[in-house]
Amino acid sequence: MSESADSSAPSPAEPSDFIRDLVAADVAAGRYSRIHTRFPPEPNGYLHIGHAKSICLNFGIARQFGGICNLRMDDTNPAKEDIEYVDSITADVKWLIEGWADHCLGLKPSGATPAPNTVEGKSDFLMPAVSGSESSTGKLEPLFASDYFEALYGYALELIRKGVAYVCDLSAEDTDAYRGSPDRPGRNSPYRERSVAENVDRFQRMRAGEFPDGACTLRAKIDMASPNIWLRDPLIYRIRHAEHHHTGAKWCLYPLYDFAHCLSDYLEGITHSICTLEFEVHRPLYDWFLNQLDLARPRPHQYEFARLNVSYTVMSKRKLLALVSEGRVTGWDDPRMPTISGLRRRGVPARALRNFAQRLGVTKYNGVTEVSVLEHAIREELNTSALRRLAVLRPLKVILTNVAPGESYTLAATNNPEDPSAGTRPIALSRELWIEHDDFAEVPPPKYFRLKPGGEVRLKYACIIQCREVIKDATGHVTELRCTADLDTRTGGPNSGKKVKGTIHWVSAVDAVEAEVRLYDRLFTEAEPEKDGRDFRSVLNPKSLEVVTAKVERSLADPTPGMRFQFERIGYFWPDPQDSRPGRPVFTRTITLKDTWAKVAGGG
């Protein structure tokens, strides 16, 4: 709710890393008129926290150097992509950068495609982006690699005419066989020396739909003996008679990543094309295509950094899809998922994610970041802004025997000790109340500061009570406590300074409202779910979700959507954006409070 409202808070200093250093050097050398990055997901799944790192890097650089970061759908494979993903990706990116880098978001007018033009006597195509700050009245949409198919087709023809690309009729199996292996050179395709005229003709017929799927491909003529497999005459186009989510039935041949990506970058005027480490071996190919073509404008360059891994979760789209499709979570936005939509649904503020990403650093070392770093960033953000409220998750009834039925005392509860301007709210203390079952121990362990038979404890914002009697049911289960209240120890009372070891939270029974509370925990029981090749399904945390019916204070009966709360001594919560209803609140736990007692007690 208040995510952009707090943009006045000091933003941390711009981080420094080897990529930013390279960009800064390019700026200092005057190599580009404007820095232009891009975030190019394939719309075949939801974005996850690993993408968040990339988004923060790419938009962070655009922001820092006064440039733009294009949001581009890298949609060259019609078989895997879907409009559902285009929409979710767009929403996730906008949410993550809102109030921080919206002015750097590069989009384009709906339906726009690259315009042919001439630069310094050379024919060229350019797909200019419209940033959030360059406001336009028209409707904007992300950029799509599929909007460049016509331009890409032209570049492919140029390669053919140069004699560095050819149509190959080898089957998929034979293409594999001819490629060789990492330690064994490949062999030239028998179609490698076709004439330019024949290649042009065949490529045009490929486009015209004369060949079935797989009948032939367009390949770059590079070096079948290269130690880098990606330089062994890589495929440029394959035939796919398939409907594309963005171009419909217009095309039956589709470009492959290596060819499409570098040229998409070029068409958009990208200066720094930042991707993850697994593309490092593709960089010579990225450069090869751009260098073969007679390009009019400065060409982009690719840089690689290590993708993010986080402990106690999995990150690949394939595995996340499996969790969803196998029903192990409720959907892509299940609060236990490491997806951006899952984290959002859990109540994690975008700013916490950005701060997390910033602390990660950018290197070429593939490691695993401990989830505690993320958790810390979330608590840090929520601690300053969340309103404190009293809620009892596992209620135990307490009767204050010296308070008469109907008698009531109004007390002032602090809304946020980190922010005095948040003020106080009145809460009522009366004869019957609820406390946390865990806050009473009939046989207390050593150093137990909470309520025990005969013991004293302070009720937060109220007074000290003493346990006089323990009532149990037939099975010996504690069902009720009879206590006396020392009203002189109330805030402002004559004995308010009296010290007791423990302070517990509580809710007055007459004022309590019932609420469903969803207690989410980490999805896996192992820090590295896939360690030693084991199936991540075998280490799913069976207790990753527990639902309880809590007693919450009346002010929580109809929570404002988007509002963050700290249930004192428990954790951070917010009304579930899907399921919470006025008068029937449903709270989702974003994260627990750090609890040093739980650690001492061995988790409890």
Which residues from 231-250 bind RNA, rule CB under 7 A? 235, 238-239
d(CA 335, CA 588): 8
Residue placing its CB nearer to RNA in the complex, 103 or 498: 498
d(CA 453, CA 466): 8
d(CA 146, CA 343): 30
- 440 three-state secondary structure: strand
Q: How far is CA 115 from the centre of its chain?
A: 34
- Select from 373, 404, 471, 547 the one that contacts RNA (CB under 7 A): 373
Stretch that binds RNA, among 3-11, 117-125, 201-209, 222-230 (CB under 7 A): 222-230
Stretch that binds RNA, among 112-120, 293-301, 442-450, 545-553 (CB under 7 A): 442-450
> Does position 502 bind RNA by CB under 7 A?
yes
> Does position 203 bind RNA by CB under 7 A?
no
Is residue 191 within 8 A of residue 169, CB to CB? The reply is yes
Residue placing its CB nearer to RNA in the complex, 105 or 231: 231
User: Residue 373 is encoded by which pair of tokens?
Assistant: 């770093």
Min separation Cβ 214 and RNA, Å: 4
d(CA 266, CA 80): 25
Binding mask 324-353 for RNA (x = CB under 7 A): ------------------------------
Residue placing its CB nearer to RNA in the complex, 235 or 545: 235
Residue placing its CB nearer to RNA in the complex, 78 or 334: 78
124 membership: H or E segment, kind and range: strand 122-126
Residue placing its CB nearer to RNA in the complex, 369 or 466: 369
Min separation Cβ 288 and RNA, Å: 14
Residue placing its CB nearer to RNA in the complex, 203 or 279: 279
> Does position 468 bind RNA by CB under 7 A?
no
Residue type, 18: F
> Does position 489 bind RNA by CB under 7 A?
yes
589 membership: H or E segment, kind and range: strand 586-592
- Restricting to residues 250-279, name those near RNA by CB under 7 A: 254, 256-257, 260-261, 277-279
> Does position 506 bind RNA by CB under 7 A?
no
3-state SS string over 299-346?
CCEEEEECCCCECCCCCCHHHHHHHHHCCCCCCCCCCCCCEHHHHHHH
- Select from 92, 334, 568, 576 the one that contacts RNA (CB under 7 A): 568
> Does position 535 bind RNA by CB under 7 A?
no
Min separation Cβ 559 and RNA, Å: 18
Residue placing its CB nearer to RNA in the complex, 190 or 493: 493
Is residue 348 within 8 A of residue 310, CB to CB? The reply is no
- Select from 9, 83, 119, 229 the one that contacts RNA (CB under 7 A): 229
Integer-rounded Cα Rg, in Å, for the chain is 31
- Select from 241, 250, 364, 537 the one that contacts RNA (CB under 7 A): 364
68 membership: H or E segment, kind and range: strand 68-73
Residue placing its CB nearer to RNA in the complex, 73 or 515: 73
- Restricting to residues 5-24, name those near RNA by CB under 7 A: 16-18, 21
Residue placing its CB nearer to RNA in the complex, 103 or 460: 460
> By CB neighbour count within 10 A (0-12 exposed, 13-18 middle, 19+ buried), where does 595 fall?
middle
User: Residue 544 is encoded by which pair of tokens?
Assistant: 């990753």
Min separation Cβ 471 and RNA, Å: 22
> Does position 359 bind RNA by CB under 7 A?
yes
User: Residue 509 is encoded by which pair of tokens?
Assistant: 């029974």
Min separation Cβ 412 and RNA, Å: 10
- Restricting to residues 126-165, name those near RNA by CB under 7 A: none
Min separation Cβ 159 and RNA, Å: 17
Q: Angle at the Cα of 18 (from 13 to 21), degrees rounded to 5?
A: 65
> Does position 599 bind RNA by CB under 7 A?
yes
Is residue 507 within 8 A of residue 425, CB to CB? The reply is no
User: Residue 457 is encoded by which pair of tokens?
Assistant: 């404890």
- 129 three-state secondary structure: coil
- Restricting to residues 167-186, name those near RNA by CB under 7 A: 170-172, 175-176, 179-183
Residues, the chain, total? 604
Residue placing its CB nearer to RNA in the complex, 124 or 568: 568
Min separation Cβ 556 and RNA, Å: 15
> Does position 425 bind RNA by CB under 7 A?
no
Is residue 252 within 8 A of residue 196, CB to CB? The reply is no
- Rounded to whole angstroms, what are the CA distances from 81 to 112, 245, 324, 338, 439? 20, 7, 17, 21, 52
Stretch that binds RNA, among 190-198, 331-339, 344-352, 503-511 (CB under 7 A): 503-511
Q: How many residues bind RNA (CB under 7 A)?
A: 95
The β-bridge partners of 565 are: 387, 573
d(CA 220, CA 163): 9
- Restricting to residues 447-466, name those near RNA by CB under 7 A: 447-450, 458, 460-463
- Select from 85, 230, 506, 536 the one that contacts RNA (CB under 7 A): 230
- Restricting to residues 400-419, name those near RNA by CB under 7 A: 417-418
- Restricting to residues 68-87, name those near RNA by CB under 7 A: 74, 76-77, 79-80
Q: List the catalytic residues.
A: 42, 307, 317
> Does position 109 bind RNA by CB under 7 A?
no
> Does position 95 bind RNA by CB under 7 A?
no
Q: How far is CA 521 from the centre of its chain?
A: 17
Q: Which residue has the tokens 């950029």?
A: 143
> Does position 383 bind RNA by CB under 7 A?
yes
> Does position 530 bind RNA by CB under 7 A?
no
> Does position 421 bind RNA by CB under 7 A?
no
Output the DSSP codes for 455-516.
Answer: -EEEETTS-EEEEEEEEE-TTS-EEEEEEEEEGGGSTTSTTTT---S-EE-EEEGGG-EEEE
d(CA 440, CA 243): 64
